[in-house]
Chain A
């Protein structure tokens, strides 16, 4: 019963902060709301007994990616006055694309079977040992492929940065 209350509270926070990201006037506040949103999502992971996922989510998203985002916003010094004016055509296109994406998501939601939520029997399902075991036995190939992808991305960014300097 308490877990239900916590879930609905977290869900409300997630939805509210996500909406605030879009509706905030200042980009810096958008970033701050997005960080709050990530925290509530980490809360959902904890509710599902996935402690490891929750903390990695916070380290990677709130601790690294959002810092870079804040960096960019601060250095560009984005604010309302300097915001480029968008033509009516751009706005119309944005509304149409956004609406279509919403429709697709809605259609996907309609056809899914929403089963009843069953609480995990064991509480250690998301512990580091369990996650590591699964990752390095059943999901070995996808895991290694992802790391290759990451190295490719890292080398790619270094190459791009080097090229600028030689010009």
Chain B
């Protein structure tokens, strides 16, 4: 099996998993909300309502497609497409498990192990703004425009704190920005979260803001802005926006777990590697990584149904006056500790 074929299969698999998981995250969200509010949740379509996402998808496809007459048609369609593309792009640099082996050749479970891994993630995240901005502006609706402006200023503000919190982690891994190296440096229970709890907290908070999730879902706060940037969207274009939000959640959970929670590492991985065949260990490590991702997706939902929304000035104050200085101080302290006490 050539490397190229393996990569193509891997890309298609990751693509399908992202979309499938995003679809069932909508179901999960409704079930978690129902659980937290002491309700039953969707239970009509199929056993336990398991076919609900499919029913929702069919509904989205069959809805009438409305494009506002005075809007810019090209940009109106480009908006949700760009948002989805940027949501899916990040998965390329995430190491999903220990390498597999076919015919004596080792194939890493990662699409692209590039030298600048984590910077690539930050770069793609910063591009995600365009989908929202173009959609909001081209709708020619003041609520949509306000939502788009809120979304982009929020994302720009929180990106800085996000980058700063990552620097503290990078100081601890020796000289590489590759996510693969970062994950490999967290063998067993040697996870970054135990050394960098502040950075982990800042990163998780900023990830919430970047995904536009509650308590930071001001771009679409329905009591003020109707639907925010996607007010004018209908049919599958609205579906793409809503869907991309869940893909974003999945990918940020993956990034959070590989930066701070050991990625595919778990205590006993080295022992398993000596007794079990390589490919089986690879699958187990993938399963463990997936478990961590699922936990963080649950965490996203848990917070959403527990904490109320911020006010906009509170959001900006938190981003610029609390998280940003905290992240910088964290970098300085980490640097000082490494300089004076070694690693």
Name A residues whose Cβ lies closer than 8 Å to a Cβ of B: 26, 28, 32, 35, 51-52, 55-56, 58-59, 62-64, 67, 70-71, 74-75, 124, 127-129
Contacts and interface: CB of A to CB of B under 8 A. Distances in A.
A75 B175 contact: no
A52 B177 CA distance: 10
B137 A28 contact: yes
19 contacts: A28-B75, A32-B75, A52-B115, A55-B119, A59-B119, A59-B123, A59-B126, A62-B127, A63-B123, A63-B129, A67-B130, A67-B133, A67-B156, A71-B149, A71-B152, A74-B137, A74-B148, A128-B115, A128-B176
A35 B72 CA distance: 18
A74 B133 contact: yes
B126 A64 contact: yes
Interface in B149-189: 149, 152, 156, 159, 175-177
Interface of B: 72, 75, 114-116, 119-120, 122-123, 126-127, 129-130, 133, 137, 145, 148-149, 152, 156, 159, 175-177
A63 B127 CA distance: 5
Q: 10 nearest interchain CB pairs?
A: A63-B126, A55-B119, A59-B123, A74-B137, A58-B123, A55-B116, A127-B115, A129-B175, A51-B116, A55-B123
Contacts of B129: 63, 67
A98 B265 CA distance: 59
B335 to A, nearest CB: 13
Chain B contact residues, majority secondary structure: helix
A74 B116 contact: no
Contacts of A75: 149
A124 to B, nearest CB: 8
Nearest to B153: A71
Contacts of B122: 59
Contacts of A32: 75
A127 B176 CA distance: 9
Contacts, number: 61
Given A63-B129, A64-B156, A128-B176, 8 more contacts: A35-B130, A52-B119, A55-B120, A56-B119, A70-B130, A70-B137, A74-B145, A75-B149
Nearest to B148: A74
Contacts of A55: 116, 119-120, 123
Chain A contact residues, majority secondary structure: helix
A128 B114 contact: no
Contacts of B115: 51-52, 124, 127-128
Contact of A51 (B75, B114, B130): B114
Contacts of A64: 126, 156
B71 to A, nearest CB: 12
A128 B149 contact: no
Nearest to A67: B129
Contacts of B176: 128-129
Contacts of A63: 123, 126-127, 129, 159
